[in-house]
């Protein structure tokens, strides 16, 4: 479908694939052609859907990153495009795509989360990309043949950052639904760790499940870039001024402390080329007589200093 044979040439049905003029082009040129077709060309190609998609989880606040000096979300950066994967209400998904659509049309895993105001009810839900890129008109190229499909899929999945924000419960179902080829092509992921002082047991379980999957050899995921946001607490604008921050060496001991077990799973990442650790600062209560809150505030003040250095020493290039 990418060339027109002459009258003396065999038909496309019988002509060997390795004789295709397109496939005889250097790989670098083919990748440039694919990029023109399947990667976003302008910021509006990555904007959120105009249709509101409600989340199932009550505490799933999105901490979206902004482009430096602008109010535009990073998802609109065509140089480093981002796809935002979120847990959504199952009813909302059916309303958008139709209850009678077969699973083969939009097959995806469902999973259970704590959903109501008091977390006493569990509900079945699924995930959704809230900013599906506007490239559907060009995706027919992947059906040309197996070689082109593999090349396009690798370029497509390796070019995007998959942003789960605080919806870490969606990480495993989303990645598990991908083909092994697509999953192994992913190079960049972003997620956010909720405020440590407000962690709940099911939050810790979701974190553990997600990171075990991301770092397991059986999942075939080979990340090269990780963006880690951590919700930090600061009591007022000057709440960190007199707080003694942790050093990188302190975290060798703290990783085994009560409440820091989540860090042990994070340390399973290997061979990262790039790591971006940033504090997402929110107001929190003063420590007063609470040792747990005092530890949270001290850790929060250390995220972009001692903690970031510690993770770079342990995860980047190791």
Note whether 96 and 198 are same-domain residues: no
Choose between 112 and 307: higher pLDDT.
307
Region 197-210: mean pLDDT is: 78
Question: Who wins on pLDDT, 257 or 74?
Answer: 257
Residue written as tokens 């007063």? 288
Residue 285 and residue 302 in one domain: yes
The answer on 238 and 91 residing in a single domain is no
For 78-126, what is each residue's pLDDT tens digit? 778 888 898 877 666 666 665 544 444 456 788 877 765 555 667 778 8
Do both 151 and 175 map to the same domain?
Answer: yes
Determine the pLDDT at residue 68. 56
Same-domain status, 45 and 153: yes
184 in helix, strand or coil?
helix
Predicted structure pTM score: 0.82
Of 126, 151, 181, which closes a domain?
181
Residue 4, burial from CB neighbour count under 10 angstroms (0-12, 13-18, 19+): exposed
**What is the C-alpha to C-alpha distance for residues 268 and 315, in angstroms, rounded to an integer?**
8
Contact 75, 62 (CB under 8 A): no
Domains held by the chain: number: 2
Give mean pLDDT, residues 239-250. 92
* Structural domain ending residue among the three candidates 181, 204, 236: 181
Residue 156 has pLDDT above 50, yes or no: yes
Q: Are 177 and 193 part of one and the same domain?
A: no
Do residues 110 and 144 both lie within one domain?
yes
Q: What is the mean pLDDT of residues 214-237?
A: 92
157 compared with 204, residue with greater pLDDT:
157
**pLDDT greater than 90 at residue 248:** yes
Q: Indicate if 142 and 260 belong to the same structural domain.
A: no
pLDDT score recorded for residue 202: 65
Contact between 181 and 153 under an 8 Å Cβ cutoff? The reply is yes
Residue 86 domain boundaries:
1-61+70-181
% of the chain with per-residue pLDDT over 90: 33
Residues 6+ apart with CB under 8 A from 293: 197, 233, 284, 285, 286, 287
End-of-domain residue from the set 146, 181, 216 = 181
Contacts 24+ apart (CB under 8 A), 244-251: 244/298, 245/298, 245/301, 245/302, 245/305, 245/306, 246/298, 246/299, 246/302, 246/306, 246/307, 247/306, 248/306, 248/307, 248/309, 248/310, 248/313, 250/306, 251/306, 251/307, 251/310
What's the pLDDT score for residue 192?
A: 92
pLDDT tens-digit series, residues 262-303: 898 899 998 899 999 999 999 998 888 788 889 999 999 999
One domain for residues 126 and 262 = no
Is 140 found in the same domain as 43? yes
pLDDT of 46-84, one tens digit each? 776 545 455 555 455 667 665 555 555 556 677 788 888
- Please, which pLDDT band fits residue 191 given cuts at 50, 70 and 90? very high
Q: Are residues 162 and 226 in the same domain?
A: no
For residues 171 and 198, membership in a common domain is answered with no
């Amino acid at each position: 479908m990418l060339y027109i044979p002459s009258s003396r040439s065999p038909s496309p049905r019988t002509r060997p694939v390795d004789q295709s003029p397109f496939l005889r082009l250097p790989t670098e040129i083919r990748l440039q052609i694919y990029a023109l077709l399947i990667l976003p060309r302008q910021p509006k190609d990555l904007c959120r859907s105009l249709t509101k998609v409600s989340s199932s989880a009550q505490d799933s606040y999105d901490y979206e990153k902004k482009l430096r000096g602008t109010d535009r979300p990073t998802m609109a950066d065509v140089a480093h495009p981002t796809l935002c994967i979120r847990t959504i209400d199952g009813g909302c998904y059916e309303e958008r795509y139709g209850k009678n659509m077969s699973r083969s049309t939009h097959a995806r895993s469902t999973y259970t989360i704590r959903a109501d105001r008091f977390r006493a009810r569990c509900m079945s839900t699924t995930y959704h990309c809230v900013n599906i890129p506007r490239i559907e008109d060009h995706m027919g190229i992947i059906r040309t043949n197996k070689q082109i499909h593999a090349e396009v899929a690798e370029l497509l999945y390796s070019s995007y950052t998959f942003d789960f924000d605080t919806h870490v419960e969606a990480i495993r179902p989303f990645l598990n639904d991908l083909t092994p080829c697509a999953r192994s092509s992913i190079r960049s992921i972003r997620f956010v760790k909720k405020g440590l002082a407000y962690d709940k047991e099911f939050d810790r379980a979701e974190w553990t499940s997600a990171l075990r999957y991301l770092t397991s050899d059986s999942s075939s995921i080979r990340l090269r870039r990780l963006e880690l946001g951590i919700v930090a607490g600061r009591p007022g604008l000057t709440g960190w001024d007199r707080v003694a921050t942790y050093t990188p060496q302190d975290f060798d001991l703290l990783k085994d402390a009560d409440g820091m077990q989540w860090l042990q799973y994070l340390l399973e990442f290997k061979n990262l080329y790039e790591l971006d650790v940033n504090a997402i600062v929110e107001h929190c209560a003063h420590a007063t007589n609470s040792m747990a809150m005092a530890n949270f505030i001290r850790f929060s003040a250390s995220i972009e200093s001692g903690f970031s250095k510690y993770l770079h020493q342990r995860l980047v290039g190791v």
